[in-house]
Amino acid sequence: MAEIEPSGTYRPQYRSRWRGPVLVLSRFPWLKDHLAKLVRRILTRVFEPGLITTERVIEYPFVFQNLNGITGPVLDIGCCYSRLPIALASRGFQTVGLDVNPYPFKHPYLQAVRGNAGCCPFAAGSFGMVLAISVVEHIGIGHYGDLKADAGDRTAIREIARVLRPGGLALITVPFGQLMTDEFQRVYDPSCLRHLLSPLTVVRIEYAWSRHGLWTPCSEEEASSVDWKGSARAVALIVATVPRERP
Angstrom CA distances, 178 to 72, 216, 220, stand at 37, 18, 12
- Which residue type does 55 have? E
**For the chain, domain boundaries:** 16-46, 49-241
Query: CA 146 → CA 21, 120, 121, 135, 172, distances in Å?
Result: 40, 13, 15, 12, 19
Q: Above 70 in pLDDT, residue 217? A: yes
Judging by beta carbons within 10 Å of its beta carbon (0-12, 13-18, 19+), is residue 25 exposed, middle or buried?
Answer: middle
Residue pair 173/55 in contact (Cβ under 8 Å)? The answer is yes
DSSP one-letter code for 147: P
Q: Is the pLDDT of residue 246 over 50?
A: no
Q: Mind listing the pLDDT tens digit for each residue in 65-74?
A: 999 888 879 9
Beta strands 180-181 and 201-211, pairing class: unpaired
Q: State yes or no: pLDDT of 148 exceeds 70.
A: no
Q: Region 224-231: what's the mean pLDDT? A: 91
Mean pLDDT for 140-165 is: 83
Question: For residue 185, which amino acid is it?
Answer: Q
- Identify the residue with better confidence: 124 or 13: 124
Neighbours of 239 (CB within 10 A): 17
Q: Residues with Cβ < 8 Å from 69, sequence gap 6 or more?
A: none
Rg of the chain taking only CA atoms, in angstroms: 20
Torsional class of 43: left (φ above 0), alpha (ψ -120 to 50), beta (otherwise): alpha
Provide the whole-model pTM. 0.76
Residue 50 reports pLDDT greater than 50: no
Q: Determine the Cα–Cα distance for residues 165 and 39; give it in Å rounded to an integer.
A: 50
Number of helices and strands (H, E) in the chain? 8, 10
What pLDDT shows up at residue 1? 38
What is the 8-class DSSP label of residue 245? P
* Domain 49-241 = CATH 3.40.50.150: yes
Q: How many whole angstroms separate alpha carbon 129 and alpha carbon 169? A: 5
Residue 4, pLDDT > 60, answer: no
Order across the sheet with 110-114: list the strands: 110-114, 95-99, 74-77, 127-133, 164-175, 233-241, 201-211, 214-218
